Structures are given as structure tokens and as C-alpha cells.
């Protein structure tokens, strides 16, 4: 996968050279380039922002530097691209979106700053995306968030290919509780079923606990899931226990 980020703070993305994403780059599983679109401004003072027409607070990122930066990306990396604009008004990022992004050959992220973008920038993009109903100082941190979540679904990035499938939200539910050695730590014991060796009982316990956590903490998630008969039965059991 090839990822290009347009930002005026490229050094922030050095964090992605660490951990699993850094290793994925070393292995050639992902190529990550960060383009400083300030390099493409025609302003003598290297400004990439200006006051909005009609007045108002704050400054807007201008279309010209971003368009010229995208022209450069197209020239150096021809081919179909998914171009993602970080925008508080965009669709909320989730696991399904990360899976979809992971299927693409090329992703381009455009990071905003200041009060927003000249509206004409949006003609360049395929997706307008937000990470939640709150405002940050820029689009760099949300972009790193989305890159990290997306690359987990690129084959070979995770050491265990099943890890991404078992985690919270992968199937619409929160993840079940997990334990490691020792089996008894300061009187807090691992549930017996997990040490029983009975894989079917472990599977059912994990599913039930995943449903229990989702019911308790994020019941809204269940509204978008088509539950199996087994899951419906387990939910009835959980509710009868309360």
C-alpha cells in the first residue's frame, strides 16, 4: 500500500516510523510519504492561508497550494487514489471504513489547520472523514489514527493475522476480557473455563462476555448488528442474570 499525507507539519508523522507501522515500512508492506504543501505556495511569505471572503473569524487554507501539491502527487504516483479530507463535518471513521481503506492501493490524506479549507479543495477528494464530535488543532493526529487503524488490516502488518479479527469492533462487539499468567494473582483468579482446555466452552464464554460488555458499555452498537440465534439466547441469559 502507498500512503501520501499532505500536511504543513510533516515532522509530526515521524511517530509512524516506530512500532509495527515502522516495521511494515521496513518490510515494504507500506510506503509512507509526507508532502509539505507549504512548499507549493506561490506566496512570497510562504503563506498557505488567507482571510475568508465575506469576513469572519480565523483563516482558511487556500486552494492553490493544495491543488499544486496534489498535481505533484499525481505526477509522481499515477493511478487511482482514495483521497481523504480530514473534516469535522465528514463521516465518522470506524472499523468498516478502515477495512475499506485497507483494500486500496493508494491513499492520500489532506490535513487541515486554522479555520478550515477553501471549499474548492473538496473537489479533489473522494471522502470527507472525522474521528469524532470534537475539534483538534489540526488533521495530523486524526490522520495518524486512521493510518494506524487501516494498516492493521493490511496483510502482514500484524504479527498474528487473526489479531485484527478478534479485537473490539471487528465484528461490531466489544472484545471479551482476556487474562495471562499467573492464573492466581493476589487472589484474583482467571475464570476456570479459560484453563479447562474445552475450546467450545471457551468460545461460548468469550462470546457471552463480549455481548455482556457491549450491552453494559455500548448498547448502541447492537442496533447495527444482525444477531445470531445463539447471540440472542446469550443476551437473554445475561439479562436474566441482572
CATH number at residue 38: 3.40.1280.10
Is the CB of residue 113 less than 8 Å from the CB of residue 139?
yes
What is the domain extent for residue 211? 168-241
Q: Is residue 121 part of a domain?
A: yes
Main-chain dihedrals φ then ψ at residue 239, nearest 5 degrees: -70, -30
Predicted pLDDT of residue 165: 52
- The two beta strands, 49-50 and 60-61, are antiparallel
Q: What is the mean pLDDT of residues 101-130?
A: 93
Asked which of 122, 151, 180 is the last residue of a domain, the reply is: 151
Q: Is residue 160 part of a domain?
A: no
If 0-12 CB within 10 Å is exposed, 13-18 middle and 19+ buried, where does residue 218 land? Answer: middle
Q: What is the mean pLDDT of residues 56-69?
A: 91
The answer to whether residues 12 and 70 belong to one domain is yes
Q: Is residue 86 part of a domain?
A: yes
Q: 140-151 vs 95-102: helix axis angle to the nearest 10?
A: 70
Asked which of 105, 121, 151 is the last residue of a domain, the reply is: 151
The answer to whether residues 193 and 227 belong to one domain is yes
The answer to whether residues 32 and 96 belong to one domain is yes
Helices (H), the chain: 19-26, 63-76, 95-102, 140-151, 163-166, 199-217, 229-241
Q: Evaluate if residue 167 carries a pLDDT over 70.
A: no
3-state secondary structure of 83: strand
Cell numbers that stand for 161 in this block: 493475522
Predicted pLDDT of residue 71: 98
Instruction: Tell which residue, 215, 237, 235, has the closest CA to residue 227.
Output: 235
Task: Name the maximum alpha-carbon separation found in the chain.
Answer: 71
Give residue 68's Cα distance to chain centre.
Answer: 27
Question: Could you tell me what percentage of the chain is helix, strand and coil, using 3-state DSSP and rounding each to the nearest 5?
Answer: 45, 20, 40
Q: Is residue 41 part of a domain?
A: yes
Domain containing residue 204: CATH number: 1.10.1270.20
Q: Evaluate if residue 170 carries a pLDDT over 80.
A: no
How does pLDDT run across 35-50, given as a tens digit for each residue? 999 999 998 888 999 9
Q: Which residues are annotated as a binding site for S-adenosyl-L-methionine?
A: 112, 131-136
Give residue 165's Cα distance to chain centre.
Answer: 15
User: Is the entire prediction scored with pTM above 0.75?
Assistant: yes
Q: Is residue 210 part of a domain?
A: yes
Predicted pLDDT of residue 231: 94
Q: Evaluate if residue 168 carries a pLDDT over 70.
A: no
Neighbours of 111 (CB within 10 A): 25
The answer to whether residues 102 and 204 belong to one domain is no
How does pLDDT run across 186-239, given as a tens digit for each residue? 999 999 999 999 999 999 999 999 999 999 999 998 998 899 999 999 999 999
Count of domains in the chain? 2
pLDDT band per the 50, 70, 90 thresholds, residue 175? confident
The answer to whether residues 129 and 222 belong to one domain is no
Q: Is residue 208 part of a domain?
A: yes
Q: Is residue 157 part of a domain?
A: no
Q: Which residues are annotated as a binding site?
A: 112, 131-136
Predicted pLDDT of residue 88: 86
The answer to whether residues 40 and 134 belong to one domain is yes
Highest mean pLDDT (candidates 48-62, 131-145, 149-163): 131-145
Q: Is residue 188 part of a domain?
A: yes
Amino acid at each position: 500500500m502507498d500512503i501520501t499525507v499532505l500536511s504543513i507539519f510533516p515532522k509530526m508523522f515521524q511517530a509512524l516510523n516506530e512500532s509495527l507501522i515502522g516495521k511494515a515500512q521496513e518490510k515494504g508492506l507500506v510506503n509512507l510519504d509526507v508532502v509539505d504543501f507549504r512548499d507549493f505556495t506561490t506566496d512570497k511569505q510562504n503563506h498557505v492561508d488567507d482571510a475568508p471572503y465575506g469576513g469572519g473569524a480565523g483563516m482558511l487554507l487556500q486552494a492553490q497550494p493544495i491543488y499544486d501539491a496534489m498535481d505533484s502527487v499525481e505526477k509522481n504516483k499515477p493511478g487511482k487514489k482514495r483521497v481523504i479530507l480530514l473534516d469535522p463535518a465528514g463521516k465518522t471513521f470506524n472499523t468498516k471504513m478502515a477495512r475499506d481503506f485497507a483494500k486500496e492501493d493508494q491513499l492520500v490524506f489532506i490535513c487541515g489547520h486554522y479555520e478550515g479549507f477553501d471549499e474548492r479543495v473538496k473537489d479533489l477528494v473522494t471522502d470527507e472523514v472525522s474521528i469524532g464530535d470534537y475539534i483538534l488543532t489540526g488533521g495530523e493526529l486524526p490522520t495518524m489514527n486512521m493510518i494506524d487503524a487501516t494498516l492493521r488490516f493490511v496483510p502482514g502488518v500484524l504479527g498474528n493475522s487473526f489479531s485484527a479479527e478478534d479485537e473490539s469492533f471487528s465484528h461490531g462487539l466489544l472484545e471479551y476480557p482476556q487474562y495471562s499468567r499467573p492464573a492466581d494473582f493476589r487472589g484474583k483468579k482467571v475464570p476456570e473455563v479459560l484453563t479447562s482446555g474445552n475450546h467450545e466452552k471457551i468460545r461460548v464464554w468469550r462470546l457471552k462476555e463480549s455481548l455482556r460488555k457491549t450491552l453494559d458499555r455500548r448498547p448502541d452498537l447492537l442496533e447495527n448488528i444482525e444477531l445470531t440465534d445463539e447471540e440472542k439466547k446469550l443476551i437473554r441469559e445475561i439479562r436474566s442474570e441482572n
